[in-house]
Amino acid sequence: MKGSLHPLTILFREAIFVFEEMGFDVFEGPEIETEWYNFDALNVPSDHPSRDIQDTFWLKEVKGRCDVLRTHTTSVDVRVMKEVAAPPIRAVIPGRCFRNEKLDLTHEATLHQIDAFAIDKNISMSNLVGTFDYFIKRILGSKIKTRLRPHFYPFVEPGMDLDIWHGGKWMEMLGSGMLHPKVIKSMGLDPDEWQGFAFGIGADRLAMIKYGIKNIRLFNSGDLRFLSQFKEN
């Protein structure tokens, strides 16, 4: 039997190609992350709801340090700037994340994200909107209808969501915003000199819309009847 690529692999390849066209470099990071990179560095204080044990998978504390299965690939943003790169930069981070979700047709405990950020001395909100609008339309088609809504995220200010019109209703697709000055400082940069934007999108949800998949659990099922349907362009 001839093998085939997993639908998420196909989506990641296509997404990375689009980002590389826009001048983004690809980075990866650890799935077991420190508390600082996953939360503190992103302006998420210890009393924020995402710290709750019901929302995340904490590992056993060792020598006063408690690591976590990363809840988003946004945790890699600060790591890239502190350990790998220097501004100006455009970066995209695809990968797997983990959340203590109540499982249903659209939610899984193991999920996948595509996170992107850019830092320069003259980054604006228009750069952010232009980037994710171009990306969404390249993946889902130029006729896709979109809208923007204000939304709070602790690591950006201001923040907003991008929705798409799908199945007769508006559906949230990604969270985004201008990087919060505290996050810029966590990166070891001066927020008076450098600005940036960031956005993150659920790759599973994007693939479900693109390929007409109704059950997110199929991605991890290992069912060849499902997996063999997908072909890379």
What was the pLDDT predicted at 175?
95
One-letter amino acid identity for 139?
Answer: I
Q: How many CB atoms lie within 10 A of CB 191?
A: 15
147 touches 163 (CB < 8 A): yes
d(CA 75, CA 5): 27
Q: Is 172 helix (H, G, I), strand (E, B) or coil?
A: strand
Lookup: tokens for 32: 């077991």
Pairing of strands 89-98, 25-26: parallel
What was the pLDDT predicted at 46?
84
Please state the φ and ψ torsions of residue 116, each to the nearest 5 degrees.
Answer: -135, 145
CATH code of the domain made up of 7-227: 3.30.930.10
Per-residue pLDDT tens listing for the chain (233 residues) = 567 789 999 999 999 999 999 999 999 999 999 999 999 999 998 888 877 766 788 888 877 788 999 999 999 999 999 998 899 999 999 999 998 888 888 889 999 999 999 999 999 999 999 999 999 999 999 999 999 999 999 999 999 999 999 989 999 999 999 999 999 999 999 999 999 999 999 999 999 999 999 999 999 988 888 888 887 76
What was the pLDDT predicted at 77?
96
Q: How many CB atoms lie within 10 A of CB 7?
A: 23
d(CA 201, CA 167): 19
What was the pLDDT predicted at 100?
85
pLDDT tens figures, 47-70: 888 777 667 888 888 777 889 999
What was the pLDDT predicted at 103?
84
pTM of the predicted model as reported, rounded to 2 decimal places: 0.92
What was the pLDDT predicted at 85?
87
What's the CA angle centered on 192, arms 191 and 198, to 5 degrees?
40
Q: What is the DSSP string of 196-216?
A: EEEEEEEHHHHHHHHHT---G
What was the pLDDT predicted at 152?
93
